[in-house]
Amino acid sequence: MNSMKTLTKQKRVANLGEKVRFMRNDMIIVGEVTIVKDESVIVNVSRSDARRLNIDTPLTVVAHKNYQVL
């Protein structure tokens, strides 16, 4: 993965349960989609990634334009 541009070429919206990859704080994170909204998905990341991102919960919001379906 060379750049964020590679991640933003996503053409389709992820479905519930699919794995997605996104960039946050200059780190590439992989997680599972738990909720699909009109403009974004809610992704469950690992506890270790949540700690790396300095967030209290393993759930995070990712806009459709900012992830790649794996």
The CATH code of the domain at 4-69 is: 2.30.30
Please tell me the pTM assigned to this model. 0.84
Helix (H, G, I), strand (E, B) or coil at 4: helix
Q: What is the pLDDT of residue 2?
A: 46
- For the beta carbon of residue 36, count every other beta carbon within 10 angstroms: 15
Residue 63 contacts by C-beta under 8 Å, 6 or more apart in sequence? 39, 40
Residue 11: predicted pLDDT: 77
Q: Which residues of the chain have pLDDT under 70?
A: 1-10
Cβ burial, residue 66 (10 Å; 0-12/13-18/19+) = middle
The pLDDT value given to residue 54:
94
Domain residue limits, the chain = 4-69
